Amino acid sequence: MASELIVNGRPHRLPDDPRVSLLDYLRHDLGLTGTKKGCDHGQCGACTVIVNGLRINSCLSLAVMHDGDQITTIEGLGTPEAPSPLQRAFLAHDGFQCGYCTPGQICSATAMLDEIANGWPSDASASLEGRFEPTGEEIRERMSGNLCRCGAYANIVAAIADVATESDA
């Protein structure tokens, strides 16, 4: 059994205590405090990270369950000097107020754009087959796992729509 997990391209040792959630492991053990703890119960999405290409709530996972997994956090998506397209768009559109939900929103949206590109349907899709357009309705449904207490939703959706249509072209 591998006793490491890979975070933003770097291997790290698993914690000894199996109780440590992936979220606490990232924040406390690795000091990657970009990933936020909102509810700690899977309800808010502030803790969203990308594991082996899929977005998940890191609060409802144990770090030890992820040996060998590839984990990308907000720190792995871009830097202040070289932001990712979504990071740039959130700035351009004021896609936040306090910013607490933002890392989760951006990790979530990053994976969501891949899901649309891969032809995954959502509850808002009229048909289960075909190509899914990043309409406002689709984006809102697909991002429903990321709450924003500041209510910056309109700008969040605008930022994501911008990048979605850009990468479409």
Nearest approach in angstroms of CB 81 to ligand FAD is 36
Binding range to ligand FES, per CB under 6 A, among 67-75, 79-87, 99-107, 129-137: 99-107
Considering only CA atoms, give the Rg of the chain. Answer: 16
Q: How far is CA 132 from CA 53, 80, 119, 128, 144, in A?
A: 19, 32, 6, 9, 17
Structure tokens at 87: 């990071």
Among 123, 126, 131, 169, binds another protein (CB under 8 A): 123
User: Is position 45 an interface residue for ligand FES (rule: CB under 6 A)?
Assistant: yes
Nearer to another protein, 81 or 123 (CB): 123
Residues 30, 50: Cα–Cα separation, whole Å: 16
Q: Which residue is nearest to ligand FAD (CB)?
A: 42
Q: One symbol per residue from 46 to 85: x for binding ligand FES (CB under 6 A), - otherwise; what is it?
A: xx---------x-x--------------------------
Starting at the edge strand found earlier in the chain, the sheet holding 10-13 runs 10-13, 4-7, 70-72, 48-51, 54-57
Among 34, 78, 85, 145, binds another protein (CB under 8 A): 145
Residue 120 contact among ligand FAD, another protein, ligand FES, none, beta carbon within 5 to 8 Å by kind: another protein
User: Is position 37 an interface residue for another protein (rule: CB under 8 A)?
Assistant: no
* Phi, psi (degrees; rounded to nearest 5) at 51: -115, 120
Nearest approach in angstroms of CB 80 to ligand FES is 18
Contacts of 20 (CB under 8 A, 6+ apart): 28, 29, 62, 63, 64
